[in-house]
Structures are given as structure tokens and as C-alpha cells.
Amino acid sequence: MLFVVLAFACFLLWRDSKREKREKAALLAEMEEKNSLYKKEAMLAAKEAVQKDIEKFQEETKERRQELSRLETKLAKKEETLEDKLQSIAVKESELQKKSDELTDKEDYLAEQIQKQIQELERISGLSRDEAKNLLLEQLKVDLQQEANNLIRENENYIKETSDEKAKEILTSVMQRCVIDHVVESTVTSVSLPSDEMKGRIIGREGRNIRTLETLTGVDLIIDDTPEAVVLSCFDPVRREIAKIALEKLVSDGRIHPARIEEMVEKARVEVEQKIKQEGENAAMEMGIMNLNKELVKTLGRLYYRTSYGQNVLIHSLEVGHIAGMIAAEIGANVKIAKRAGLLHDIGKAIDQTQEGTHIELGVELARKYGEKEEVIHAIEAHHDDVTANTIEAVLVKLADAVSAGRPGSRRDTLEIYIKRLQKLEEIALSYEGIKQSFAVQAGREIRVIVQPDKFDDVASARLARDIAKRIEEELDYPGQIRVTVVREIRTTEIAK
């Protein structure tokens, strides 16, 4: 029984194995068939792709051949064109060479003819070629010189017609743009006191306080009957200012004795030195000068306490710098040099009371010592005609100085000097024969001379004006300029009855 079961089981296993083999064989056959189909399809697709690539390559090759064909045709045409041009150029070169040869022959012929004509002209004129050339050049020089003289004369006439009007316009514009105050010259300063009792304290026991103050400051104190005031008298304005500040501090403090006086004078001196430095810096800054030597700035600041004919010298220097700079800008000169020289032109007046020499000599020495340019030094030296001005900036500084100092109201003379100058002007005019009257007008800036018409003609009148002006220049000292006007008037009167 067990054997039968085993046999049956083996039969079943064999049968299943056989069936699996058949199924596997069928599956393999199916897979082989599919692979065969896939291979065929792949082969067909590859053939189609290759065929397309071949067709595309053939099409591109055809297009490139066509393009190459077109390029070959174009190149061939260009070669033909170049050959034609080369032939044309060769023909033109041949023609040009022929013309060049013809011109050479003509030049040789003309040179020969010119030489013959020159020889014939030399024979006829009796002059060599060089002699004729020199003669022609001399004639040309004469003609050119004559034309130059005519142009110069025309320009001179034009300048004469327009220069006065242009100069007046420039000066008027400059003076209107530059308005600076002036102070009155004085050698005394008044200090107010709270009461007359303070005068005794200023004098001190046996005058020791006043002597100490006068010794330390170099200023004379005038204590008189003037109520509640003390007068300080000194020619040096800086010392007078130091004494004024010191005295005001002493009066305000109330403690007045020699030690206190010495302390206050020293403080006042320091304040004045600071004020001098500040005024110098302000002046340089106002003029736009930033590279001025420090010592020169301090010296410039001392001009704040210096006056000339009632005109503050520092303010006058600023005015001269502004005027010179504005005129320089109008005419195209160096504005910086003109302004700098104008500001420094009177720098010598800051030390001319303590050192030997004129303010021009001292100013030149200071400017050279502190490294100023030669153009500035020359302008300082030439502003009063000590040397001839040879730069336009020096002339402008001289002009600006005359404008600032000479215009009405800028300076004030004492009454006695003013009256004497007017009298001297009239005396000079009346000293000539044939003068009817003379009048000094416009504050002494013009002298009008009325002559007898039968003794003077027009030429003699002009000569008289020149003679009077020359005598005024030689015999009088005055700011600015004085105009001399000679009046020759003829009146004829008839009565109708």
C-alpha cells in the first residue's frame, strides 16, 4: 500500500515536472519569438534612422555644394573685377607717368625761360638778382611800416576816444562797490570817570600813581578842570590804547596803587596785542589771503591803531586792496597780486615811528624778510613813484592808493594847513601877468584862473595851465590831484535903440 502511494506520488511529480517543462519550453519559445520581433523592429527603426541621417547628410551636402558654387562664382567675378581695375590702374599709371614727364619737361622749359628773363631783367635794370631782391624787401618794409603806423594811429585815436569813458566807468563802479568808514586823526583820548574824586586817586600820594602809569605806558595824563574826565596824550596810538584800557580797568576796579597799575598795564598790553593780531587776521581774511606770514599779520594789525591825515591806515589798506583787485578783474590783470600788494602797500607805517627809514623802505624790507613775491614787493616800492612801476599790478596799486586817499572826505587836514594850501594855490595863479582873478574851488581840488582875453590866446592859455600845474606839483604837498582850469572869456555887448 505504501509502495502504491509512493508510486502514485512519483507519478504525480513526474507529470507536474513534465507539464512545467512543456510550459517553460512554450514560454521560451514565446520569448524567443518576441525577441525576434523586437530585433526586427529595432533593426527597422535603426535602418529608418540611418536612412534619415543619410538623407539629411545628402541634403546638407547638396546645400553646401550649392553655397560653395555660389562663392566660387562670386570669387570669380571679383577676380575679374580686380583684373579690370588692375588694368585700369596700370593704364592710369602710364598716363600719369606720361603727364609727369610732360610736366618735368615744362618745368625745365619754364626754368630756362625764367632764367633767361632774369638775365634780361638784370641786363635792362643794371641790378643783380640779390640787389633787386634787397630793393624789393626794403620797399616792402617801408610799406609795412607805413601800414603799421596807420594802424597804430587809428588804435591810438580809438583809445583816446574810449579810454576816458571806460576808465571813468571802471572807477565809478569800483568806488560804488567799495564803501569803507574812516576815523578822525587824534593824538589824545578821553577817559570818563564816575566822579571827580577819582582824579585824586589816579594822581595818588605825591603823584606816585600817575607817575607809575605814565612811566609804564609812555603816555601823558592830563588832569585838568574837565569834569569827570582824564585826557591821555601820546603820539603812539598803541601806547595810548594800552593806557586807556589800563586806566578804565583801574577806575572800574577802584584799587589804584603802583603794583595794581603795573598789573593792569600788563593785562591791557596783552589785550591790545590780541586785538592787533585779530585785526590783522580779519583784514587778511576779508581780502581772501590765507598764506600770509604770522609776523606780517601782526604787523598788519598794528595799522588798526595808525592814522594818516585822519584816515585809518588799516581800513585804507583794505580799501586799496579791494579797489586794486576790482580794477584788475575788470581789465584782466592778476587779481591776487593786486589785492595782496594793495593790502600790504602801507605796511611800513606800522613801524616807521620806531625805526629809521620811510614807510616805503620799511615796507619793502618787511615784505622781502617774510618771503613776499617780487611782484608784491615792487608794487609796494612803486606806489609813491620811488621807482618806476613796470607791472600792471603796481600801476593799479598806485591808482587805488590815489583814489582811496584823494577822493573827497577820505582824509581830513587841519584847518590851518587847509587854508594855507588854498591861499598858496591862489597866490601861484595870481603870480602870472594878465590874470584877472583866481579861485580855489572843490575843497582845493581845482583852481580856476580867469585871464584877460586880450593878453592870452588859446595857445597861451594852454601853456599857462601847464605852467601853473607844474608849479603846484613842485611847491605844494597835497593828496590826490588838483585840476587847473584857465578861463578866457570874451563878451561883446551892444544896445538896440
CATH number for the domain that contains residue 328: 1.10.3210.10
pLDDT tens, N- to C-terminus, the chain (497 residues): 667 777 777 777 777 777 777 788 888 888 888 888 888 888 888 888 888 888 888 888 888 889 898 898 888 888 888 888 888 888 888 888 888 888 888 888 888 888 887 777 777 767 676 777 777 788 888 888 888 878 887 777 777 767 666 666 666 665 555 555 444 445 567 787 888 778 888 888 888 888 888 888 878 888 877 777 888 877 677 888 888 888 888 888 888 888 888 888 888 888 888 888 888 888 888 888 888 888 888 888 888 888 776 678 888 888 888 888 888 888 888 889 888 988 888 888 888 777 778 888 888 898 888 888 898 888 888 888 778 888 888 888 888 888 777 555 455 545 556 667 777 888 888 888 888 888 887 667 788 888 888 888 888 888 889 999 999 988 887 766 788 988 887 767 778 87
Q: Quick one: 299 and 401 in the same domain?
A: yes
In angstroms, the CA 405 to CA 320 distance is 9
Domain assignment of residue 422, yes or no: yes
Beta pairing class for 483-487 and 446-451: parallel
Comparing C-alpha atoms, which of 398, 396, 496 is closest to residue 170? 396
Q: Is 320 exposed, middle or buried (0-12, 13-18, 19+ CB in 10 A)?
A: buried
User: Nine-digit cell at 37?
Assistant: 520581433
Q: What are the φ/ψ torsions at residue 48 (nearest 5 degrees)? A: -60, -45
In angstroms, the CA 33 to CA 374 distance is 119
Residues found in the chain: 497
Question: Where do the DSSP E strands lie in 138-233?
Answer: 188-192, 220-222, 229-233
Q: Quick one: 397 and 318 in the same domain?
A: yes
In angstroms, the CA 334 to CA 476 distance is 34
Q: Please give the single-letter amino acid code of residue 454.
A: D
Q: Please give the single-letter amino acid code of residue 414.
A: T
> Tell me, what's the pLDDT at 118?
75
Domain assignment of residue 133, yes or no: no
In angstroms, the CA 237 to CA 464 distance is 45
Q: Quick one: 322 and 388 in the same domain?
A: yes
In angstroms, the CA 322 to CA 330 distance is 12
Q: What is the CATH number of the domain that holds 433?
A: 3.30.300.30
Helix axes 359-369, 374-382, angle to 10 degrees: 180
Q: Quick one: 441 and 397 in the same domain?
A: no
Domain assignment of residue 334, yes or no: yes
Contact call for residues 289 and 339 (beta carbons, < 8 A): yes
SS3 for 101-123, per residue? HHHHHHHHHHHHHHHHHHHHHHH
CA dihedral 338, 343, 345, 350 (to 10 degrees): -170
Question: Where do the DSSP E strands lie in 253-341?
Answer: 307-308, 311-312
Q: 435: number of CA atoms within 13 Å, CB side?
A: 19
Domain assignment of residue 168, yes or no: no
Domain count, the chain: 4
> Tell me, what's the pLDDT at 42?
83
Q: Quick one: 270 and 224 in the same domain?
A: yes
Contact call for residues 419 and 363 (beta carbons, < 8 A): no
Domain assignment of residue 159, yes or no: no
Contact call for residues 265 and 242 (beta carbons, < 8 A): yes
Give the global pTM.
0.49
Domain assignment of residue 137, yes or no: no
Look at residues 250, 276, 302 and tell me which one is the last residue of a structural domain.
Answer: 276
- Domain span including residue 444: 415-487
Q: Quick one: 461 and 419 in the same domain?
A: yes
In angstroms, the CA 223 to CA 231 distance is 7
Comparing C-alpha atoms, which of 228, 397, 370 is closest to residue 297? 370
Q: What are the φ/ψ torsions at residue 152 (nearest 5 degrees)? A: -60, -40
Give the C-alpha distances (Å, rounded to integers) separating 235 from 121, 140, 210, 305, 321.
89, 70, 18, 11, 27
Q: Quick one: 209 and 300 in the same domain?
A: no
In angstroms, the CA 349 to CA 139 distance is 59
> Tell me, what's the pLDDT at 32?
83
Look at residues 358, 379, 406 and tell me which one is the last residue of a structural domain.
Answer: 406
> Tell me, what's the pLDDT at 182?
46
Q: Quick one: 392 and 370 in the same domain?
A: yes
> Tell me, what's the pLDDT at 183?
44
Q: Quick one: 421 and 402 in the same domain?
A: no
Q: Quick one: 266 and 312 in the same domain?
A: no
> Tell me, what's the pLDDT at 184?
44
3-state secondary structure of 203: helix
Contact call for residues 317 and 346 (beta carbons, < 8 A): yes
Q: Quick one: 368 and 450 in the same domain?
A: no
| Region for 387 from its dihedrals, namely left if φ exceeds 0, alpha if ψ lies in -120 to 50, beta otherwise | beta
Q: Please give the single-letter amino acid code of residue 295.
A: E
Domain assignment of residue 46, yes or no: no
Characterize 59-92 residue by residue with b for buried, 16 or more Cβ atoms within 10 angstroms of its Cβ, and e for exposed.
eeeeeeeeeeeeeeeeeeeeeeeeeeeeeeeeee
Can you give the C-alpha Rg of the chain in angstroms? 56
Q: What are the φ/ψ torsions at residue 352 (nearest 5 degrees)? A: -70, -15
Domain assignment of residue 314, yes or no: yes
Q: Quick one: 386 and 447 in the same domain?
A: no
In angstroms, the CA 445 to CA 438 distance is 13
3-state secondary structure of 145: helix
